[in-house]
Structure 1
Amino acid sequence: MSKVLVLYYSSYGHVETMANAVAEGAGSVAGTEVDIRRVPELVPEDVAEKSGYKTDQGAPLIESPDVLAAYDAIIVGTPTRFGNMASQMRNFWDMTGGPWAQGKLIGKVGSAFTSTATQHGGQETTLTSIHTTLLHHGMVIAGVPYSCAELANMDEITGGTPYGASTLAEADGARTPSENELAIARFQGKHVAELAAKLAS
């Protein structure tokens, strides 16, 4: 039995949808227990409401950074903010000094997925910025190998990188994750869960 955490932040629901697909893929691996958790919102409630934030997300908030140690793999999802993870996710990881000092995440599998407004809106730098944080924790980084056929799809505009799954939301957030993007997300979840099972055995 291995345990996988899908930890995400989502303003408008795009990353939430991707998180569910990642979790679906991870859960397809026999003997894998998957939890989905959100990091807390930092935007005042009235501002979030006026901005049209999706506030009815089903995943519970993560209790504290200390719970990370209970998992064999952690898959982090966040929209991009100027080529980096969103401040809500950054704030959470900035509170992980305790687990870091104790080496609690060393040797665990880490992975990342994201959402951007455009094709060239920082998806790859956002993913690698997440990788940098996970590497400081001593985690083993997993991306999306090219055995995932959907990465090579040239028939449509689509997210998806070897660094992690991604979706393109458009500037107004009107575009929802495509089936190709969700397939990559499911592939990533399955790939990470398989690696976690091997390392845990």
Structure 2
Amino acid sequence: MSKILVLYYSSYGHLAKMADAVAEGARSTGATVDVRRVPETAPFEVAQAAGFVADHSHPVLEDVNELANYDGIIVGAPTRFGRMASQMASFWDRAGGVWFQGQLNGKVGGAFTSTATQHGGQETTLFSIITNLLHFGLNIVGLDYGYAGQSGVDEVKGGSPYGATTISDSDGSRLPSQAELDGARYQGRKVAELANKIAAPHREVETA
């Protein structure tokens, strides 16, 4: 079985909940899953003024070199004006050595995000994450339409073929819905299923 990393940043807790759902889906395949968050880079005064919620849900991943320990990496970050939050971008900007050595080439990746509004940049934010992951050599798994819960207009819902999403509302009061969490679980399962297939031959070679 594969080893999966769910790596996220969350200012108000929404993506911490989505990360847990992604991890749940990945674990359902038998994969080993770690959930980690990236360091907060905003000055304390800025975070306090913006009402950021201190996140102690999961340990911080400080060392970018640990990325190489995983067969699949699923990255979650909220939108900041149509792109991934700077906290997540900063983490990957420090991983040049991992890129240079090709340590993630051929592994599996995916992205998930949140926005305040339905048209607040979900897909462009996903693409900003996916672009990074492609440069690091990962094979991208989205949220395919095998997950029917992302379709329909009977309720407000996130979801995109490019990755699981949630909508928080402008005041952050809306938490991820059941449909959104199920989408995150579905994507986590799909990433892990592919990672399990890719990792298996390598495991056999290592133990031969």
Aligning the two structures, in what range does the TM-score lie when normalised by the shorter sequence?
A: over 0.9
SS of the counterpart of 1:52?
A: coil
Q: What are the Cα deviations for residues 147-194 of structure 1, in whole angstroms up to 9, with x where unaligned?
A: 111121321110000000000011111111011100100101111110
Aligned length: 200
Cα offset, 1:23, TM superposition: 0.6
Query: Could you tell me which residue of structure 2 aligns to residue 130 of structure 1?
Result: 129
Q: Does 2:32 correspond to 1:7?
A: no
Query: Map of 1:47-196 to 2, 5 A cutoff?
Result: 47-196=46-195
> What fraction of aligned residue pairs are identical, expressed as a percent?
61
Kindly indicate whether the alpha-carbon contact (under 8 Å) linking 2:114 and 2:122 is maintained by their aligned counterparts in 1: yes
Where in structure 2 are there 5+ consecutive unaligned residues?
201-208
Aligned equivalent of 2:203: none
Paired position in structure 1 for 2:26 = 26
What is the alpha-carbon distance in structure 1 between the residues aligned to residue 112 and residue 95 of structure 2? 20
CA contact (8 A) 2:10 2:55 kept: no
Query: Which residue of structure 2 lines up, in the alignment, with residue 35 of structure 1?
Result: 34
Aligned residue type for 2:10: S
TM-score (norm 2): 0.94
Compare 130-139 and 145-154 and name the one that shifted more. Answer: 145-154
The DSSP-based 3-state class of the residue aligned with 1:84 is: coil
Structure 1 runs (4+) deviating above 6 angstroms are none
Distance in structure 2 (CA, Å) of the matches to 1:136 and 1:146: 25
SS, match of residue 4 in structure 1: strand
CA RMSD of aligned residues (A): 1.0
Deviation at 1:145, TM superposition (A): 1.1
Query: SS of the residue aligned with 1:79?
Result: coil
**1:119 Cα deviation from its structure 2 partner:** 0.5
Whichever residue aligns with residue 65 of structure 1, its letter is: V
Q: Secondary structure at the match of 1:155?
A: coil
Q: Does the aligned pair in 1 maintain the 2:39–2:62 contact within 8 Å?
A: no
CA distance in 2, matches of 1:14, 1:35: 18
Residue identity matched to 1:14: H
Distance 2:186 2:153 in 1: 18
Q: Structure 1: state its 5+ residue gaps.
A: none
> Quick one: distance in 2 between partners of 1:115 and 1:132?
17
The alignment partner of 2:146 has SS state of: coil
AA in 1 matched with 2:33: V
Find the residue that maps to 2:79 and give its secondary structure: strand
Structure 1 letter corresponding to 2:28? S
* Cα distance in structure 2, aligned partners of 1:41 and 1:171: 21
Q: Which has the higher strand share?
A: 1
Decide which moves more: 55-64 or 183-192: 55-64
8 Å contact kept, 2:13–2:55: no
| TM-score of the pair, normalised by structure 1 | 0.97
Shift of 1:49: 2.8
* d(CA) in 1 for partners of 2:133, 2:80: 18
Matched to 2:2, the amino acid is S
Residue type at the aligned position of 2:158: G
